[in-house]
Structure 1
Amino acid sequence: MANNTLSGESFSAAVFAASSNPITVTNNTIVNNTGGKGLYTTILGGAPILLSEIANNIVWGNTGTDLSLVEWTTLAPTVVSHNIYGTVSTVAPLASDNLSVNPQFINAPLQDYRLSTLSPAINNGAAFQYSGMPGRDLFGGPRVVGSRIDRGAIESTQNDLTSYTVTTTSDNGSNVAPLAGSLRAAIKAANATTVPFEVRFQISGACPRILNVVGNMLDITGDVTINGTTQAGWIENVQYTRFDGTLCLLLNGSDGASSTPWAFHVPNSASNARLAVRGLMFAGFSDAAIKLEGGDNHLISGNQFGGIGFTVPNNNAVRVTGNAGNTMIGGFDWAGAINLIAGSDGPGVVLDNAAGGSVLGNNLIGFQTDGVTAAPNQNGVYVFNSPSNSIMYNSIGNSDSAGILISGSGATGNVVQNNVIGMSLESGYPSAVNHGAGVLMMFGARNTTVGASLNGSGGDNLITLNGGPGVWVSTSGGTGNRILGNTSYANQGLAIDLGVAGGTENQANPGVGPNALQNYPLAMSAISVPAGLSLTGVLNSTPNTLFRIDAYRSNGCGPDARAESNAVLGHFQVTTNAQGLAEFNDTLPLSGALSGQFMGLTATDSAGNTSEIGNCELIRSSTPVFKSGFEACENGDPDPGCAP
């Protein structure tokens, strides 16, 4: 729920977390409603495991409590920040960045909820939103004007940024006495001030203009926005499946003989730094085009890294490392935020900062600008010993190895949801083969969510046409890796693989190995009935333990006679007895004929250990079919009568 205004109504703005899914409520104006509470949140079902966010809202002047969180839960990880409200009820103390002050609208009685010039909401919102900053406000204007987003649904036009305008492509390479009007001079000016700073561009000539970076650029130590969208000729990207924008400024780090390590660098020591980069192209940097080792609340959006003719590749596009904190790479609900990350010698994006907490959202990784032609990175994304990162809504293809690689015991609590891995979303859905697994977890990577959360639904990834398993928790992988509700088929390996490549047979559980070598349920029968799909089967695993059982439809049987996941059929729960057995007879409510197709099952324990998809079971019809002697039965027997 974002960028809405609700006013003068006889009801509340109620937000429900259903089926253990998190909620996002950002940048709303909820005022002067007479139906009771202003913003009311509650939980239907289990508490969400993934992060919920309630931020940058104005909730004011409602007849009941403005912000009601009493039916929320302290068990659900939640960020409640940078809101303005009159009254609040909550089960836990709120951060000091929430304000209880008059938001000072222009004319609230006439429902003009624009912010007056003295409003405390202007340029005072959160520097970072886990759900991303909207591209536009309620009225379609720019969403972020100034140093920070405004609170509420409507952005003001007040810009509090100090600025420097770059007027030349030249660079003398001197950090002591940079050329006037150059990018280097702009960064030197930014570092000399203590206020938020914007670097703008006004370079004469037609697009593209090439800025050759001669020698190491100055480190960035302040709050700096480098805004390539200010250059004449820039056109915003409007597609999600390709990169059709016009970027007019290319930062080139290589002269063919030697390369500069990075275009922009925030050092470890710059703990208060913040860097935002928009609307630029990068090529030829030998370390990472943008390397973030310090600061936090960084934003990298609407840029092109690599995939540029007649240029040297970057080693990495973006690396978040060292002491760096939260970083948004891309964005949500706005095609203009997408980055194109292409043709890197190493992984396209590297996340190896100890704090983690970055969001990689809605990027095109491994493609040329047409969204089809391959521009391989070594891996699309590499997460190493970094926790709690979110990789969501990206298209990741054509990697030389795995599409997403998550490695190291410090890589815990990472989330991979709603990505397309191994295929283009352009017309005809052409293949974009990652030459390893779609998602690979190794060297102790643990507690990863790939797809749905343990008690939730949704978040499914489409993982197909890859050169290895769809999702592979390798022999060195850790435990607690939830792999739920994904569509995964036509890979050169199992849809879900634990340990050595290929199907792992059931054994005494819990085992020692990736995901505790969780056993898969044995599907005994699958009958298409009017009420849905009737399943019988048995799970042999850890005694006296609750398990989630997920069912998947498979167009055919994959490697090792295992089912794949062409579609998600649903899930239910079972509990094993003292001998570790759980026999089940359950009906999933589904519509449509399923007979003649196949299915398979996974089991996931409460610690999040998901099994491989089990045996490939034919779905039969509950309706008797009379055959002549010239027709084959479902089991291949040509005799009339078709014995069951």
Structure 2
Amino acid sequence: MKRAMWLAAACGVAMAAEARGQTITVNWSQDDGVDFAMPQTVANLPGPDGHVTLAEAVIAANNTAGAQTIAFNVPQNVWSTLFGTQVCMFYHSNMHYVSGDDTTIDFTTQTTFTGDTNPNGNEVGLYYAGAPSSIPNLWLAGNRITVKGADRFLGNNFEQRLWVTGNDCRVIGCTTTGLTIRGDFGGGERNLIGGAGVGEGNVFTGAVNILSRAHGNLVKGNVFRWGFRLSGDTLNGTCDNNVFGGATAAEGNVFAGRSTTGQEGLPTGTELEIYHARNTLIQNNKVGTTNDGLARYAGRTGATGIGIGIGAAGTMVMDNIVGGIERTGSNHYQGVRFGVAITVAASASGSVIRGNRIGVAVDGLTPILNVQGITVLSDPNSTPSNTLIDGNVIARNETSGVRILYAGSARVTRNSIRENGGLGIDLDVMGVQANDAMDGDAGPNGLQNYPVLTSATVRGASVEVAGELRSMVSRAYVVELFASSGCDASGYGEGARYLGSVHVTTDGAGIAAITTTVNAVASAGEVLTATATDVATGYTSEFSACVTATTAPCAADFNADGVVDFFDYLDFVSVFADGGAGADFNADTVVDFFDYLDFVAEFASGC
């Protein structure tokens, strides 16, 4: 159902097709000049001064029916500049309010007119030079409006740069500062920020937000250097069905650079934060890394990569790369390390974290360490979060792979958790939690007891595992089994490779025997560990202590000399001919021809 809603949102944006009619050409950068006659339509341009300013072009587009394109052919000798001669800045004391549907503002036409004068971005920017005010430089209030190829929006307006309150609008190919999509003006739906095509993505160096009932927006193919905040609120309502990235790598965004410091030297800042939002999809993005996902971003990052915050419901985080989220505090926090790849906050619900690479590059191997992998939080007054952490690679983090705190809860299943500095799964305080009788203690994930493995025997392409789980009485559990090349320094976990699972039910004493064979390849000398998940609650334990896998003795080595050869065959045939008990090869208490056939099959396989 969620996927259908996200696809519907995508289709809605795609329907904002380009249907461009008349072109209004701006040729003057002194932007507050408005001198053309009523009714101030395209037909009334230019005014007596012979110039067309951006303010005039916007007014004319708003007052003229049909699709309009605003183009730029401003001679360089009349540019108002801020950054040398690189960027034509339009200084204005009022905001540009675009209400005309199907309007395109194509700043790239200035590049076509004068050439590429700005090696670090585009050629046209806006500067609000009026009295201090929280108004945007440019406000897209109509529907199906496109802004293409803008450079920085600056000025004395408290970073209120570009607002989008219409529906089905597009912002593409910009190298600009901030942007806000707002749903509290009756729109803010199905807008497209960026794109997967060449030149469609934007680079944002300021704050970007989706706020207050803004639904179904698509954000893809962009680079964000100062973070992104998706936030509904309890007064105006949630933001629903917004998408960051998409099914292909080209649709993914890059979030890196949101570095701030709080009081007394506390590192802060979140690269992508979600609050009071429902059914958000975050897919195929790179967080904290270079644009190619192969290394840590060279600048400073935030203290959190992806923050699933208060009031977030049904958030899907999948197929992302999250690495390089690490900061060192200063002042009162001197030397203290901070940085969590993904956090799930107290009142978030129904979060799914699946198929991500956390702490490693796109190749799944190269380390891009975070201080911590995933942290699930809660508090005594909140409902358990019921987070699902499924099928991720969580590796090379400085401390824990997955940490669940306070009254937090999460089902942790089928992940590759390896080579972390702390425990693979850590409940409550750092360090291994001891099992307790009847599993009656309380805490994160109910401090679920972990299994105790006693043996792991490799037999070809399968592994026989024995052990037991002591937990609550008469209760169903899933025991998951993992293999690793070596054991954690604690002697417990981690679990580099998922092997399979077995369902067990405890008896009246709270004990369930584990005797199972999983069809998976493991090698003698590898270590096996296990987790237990309560079927009813979804609570997952820490990893069990390690047990070293051994190879099963070869039954066809009948004389036990370590070599399977013709002497074994002769010895078996001799015992079989005498009807000796040692020839009961299939252990059915009867020596018959089936024992002979089974021995020959085993002998032929060479074990």
2:192 aligned residue: 276
Aligned partner (choices 400, 404, 408) of residue 473 of structure 1:
404
Aligned to 2:553, what secondary structure does the other structure show? Answer: coil
**Residue 350, structure 1, aligned to residue 350, structure 2:** no
Residue identity in the other structure for 1:362: N
In structure 1, what is the equivalent of residue 544 of structure 2? Answer: 614
1:417 aligns to 2:354 (yes or no): yes
Aligned runs of 1:467-546 on 2, under 5 Å? 467-474=398-405, 476-479=406-409, 481-507=410-436, 508-530=438-460, 532-546=462-476
CA deviation after TM superposition for structure 1 residue 478, in Å: 1.7
Letter in 1 for 2:284: N
- Aligned pair 1:388/2:314, yes or no? yes
- Residues 165-187 of structure 1: CA deviation (Å, up to 9, x unaligned): 9979979699xx96456899989
Q: Which runs of 5+ in 1 are unaligned?
A: 1-50, 56-78, 82-124, 134-143, 148-157, 232-248, 307-313, 452-459, 629-644
| Greater per-residue helix proportion | 2
Alignment of 1:547-562 (within 5 A): 547-562=477-492
Question: Is the contact between residue 9 and residue 241 of structure 2 (CA under 8 Å) also seen in structure 1?
Answer: no
Residues 551 and 252 of structure 1: CA distance in aligned 2, closer, same or farther (over 3 Å) = farther
Matches for 1:121-520 after TM superposition, within 5 Å: 126-128=8-10, 145-147=14-16, 159=18, 179=55, 192-193=99-100, 200-202=106-108, 203-204=110-111, 205-206=115-116, 208-209=121-122, 212=125, 214-215=127-128, 216-217=135-136, 218=138, 220-221=140-141, 223-224=143-144, 226=146, 228=148, 250-251=151-152, 263-274=178-189, 275-278=191-194, 279-285=200-206, 288-306=207-225, 314=226, 316-322=227-233, 323-333=238-248, 335-345=249-259, 346-353=269-276, 355-375=277-297, 376-385=301-310, 386-400=312-326, 401-409=339-347, 411-425=348-362, 429-435=365-371, 437-444=372-379, 446-451=385-390, 460-474=391-405, 476-479=406-409, 481-507=410-436, 508-520=438-450
What is the CA distance between 1:318 and its match in structure 2?
A: 3.9
Alpha-carbon distance between aligned partners in 2 of 1:360 and 1:258, rounded to the nearest angstrom:
29
How far apart, CA to CA, are the structure 1 residues paired with 2:343 and 2:493? 24
| Partner SS state of residue 516, structure 1 | helix
Distance 1:414 1:197, change over 3 A: farther
Seen in structure 2, the aligned counterparts of structure 1 residues 553 and 165 have a Cα distance that, compared at 3 Å, is: farther
Which amino acid counterpart does residue 440 of structure 1 have in structure 2? T
Q: Is the 8 A contact 2:270 2:306 kept in 1?
A: yes
1:198 to 1:564, Cα distance in 2 relative to 1, 3 A: farther
Deviation at 1:291, TM superposition (A): 3.4
C-alpha spacing 1:396/1:178, structure 2 compared with 1 (3 Å): same
In the alignment, the residues of structure 1 paired with residue 386 and residue 441 of structure 2 have an alpha-carbon distance, to the nearest angstrom, of: 17
SS at 2:240 equivalent = coil
Q: CA RMSD in A?
A: 3.7
In 1, Cα distance between equivalents of 2:355 and 2:30 = 42
1:614 deviates by 0.7
Distance 1:408 1:417, change over 3 A: same
Structure of higher CA gyration radius: 2
**Whole-angstrom distance in 2 between the partners of 1:562 and 1:367:** 31
Q: Secondary structure at the residue paired with 1:478?
A: coil
Q: Which runs of 5+ in 2 are unaligned?
A: 34-52, 63-69, 71-93, 129-134, 163-177, 195-199, 260-268, 327-338, 563-607
Q: How much does 1:297 deviate?
A: 0.3
Q: Aligned AA for 2:416?
A: T
> Cα offset for 1:535?
0.7
CA contact (8 A) 1:171 1:179 kept: no
Q: What percent of counterpart residues are identical?
A: 23
Structure 2 vs 1, CA of residues 510 and 197 (structure 1 numbering), >3 Å: closer, same or farther? farther
Q: Deviations over 1:158-213 (max 9, x none)?
A: 75689999979979699xx96456899989888524x5766554331326215545
Q: How far apart are residue 505 of structure 1 and its match?
A: 1.0
Could you tell me how far 1:367 is from its partner in structure 2?
1.6
What is the distance in 1 between the residues matched to 2:549 and 2:218? 49
The alpha carbon displacement at 1:277 in A equals 0.8
2: CA distance between counterparts of 1:627 and 1:173? Answer: 97
- Structure 1 pair 429–577 and aligned structure 2 pair: CA distance change class (3 A): closer
Q: CA deviation at 1:264?
A: 2.1
3-state SS of paired residue (2:445): helix
Q: Give secondary structure in 2 for the equivalent of 1:585.
A: strand
Q: Take 1:408 and 1:189, find their aligned partners in 2: how far apart are those partners?
A: 41
Tell me the matched-pair count: 439
User: Post-superposition shift, 1:283?
Assistant: 4.2
- Residues 404 and 326 of structure 1: CA distance in aligned 2, closer, same or farther (over 3 Å): same
1:483 Cα deviation from its structure 2 partner? 0.6
Q: TM-score, normalised by structure 2?
A: 0.65
* Residues 180, 526 of structure 1: alpha-carbon distance in 2 compared, 3 angstrom cutoff: farther
1:563 to 2:493 alignment = yes
Following the alignment from structure 1 to structure 2, what is the Cα–Cα distance between the partners of residues 197 and 582? Answer: 68
Matches of 1:405 and 1:433 in 2, distance apart?
Answer: 16
Following TM superposition, by how much is the alpha carbon of 1:586 offset from its aligned partner in structure 2, in angstroms?
0.5
- Name the SS of the counterpart of 1:214 in structure 2: strand
Cα offset for 1:431?
1.6
CA distance in 1, matches of 2:313, 2:22: 35
Q: Alpha carbons of 1:581 and 1:261: their partners in 2 closer, same or farther (altered >3 Å)?
A: farther
Query: Residues 199 and 497 (structure 1 numbering): CA distance in 2 closer, same or farther, change over 3 Å?
Result: farther
Distance 1:210 1:361 in 2: 32
Amino acid at match of 1:584: I
Cα distance in 2 for partners of 1:578, 1:165 equals 82
Runs of 4+ in 1 over 4 A off after TM superposition: 158-174, 180-191, 195-201, 210-213, 218-228, 252-255, 257-262, 624-628
C-alpha spacing 1:615/1:219, structure 2 compared with 1 (3 Å): farther
Change (3 A) 1:379 1:170: farther
How far the C-alpha of 1:356 sits from its partner, in A, is 1.9
Residues 430 and 483 from structure 1, CA distance in 2 versus in 1: closer, same or farther, beyond 3 angstroms? Answer: same
1:110 maps to none
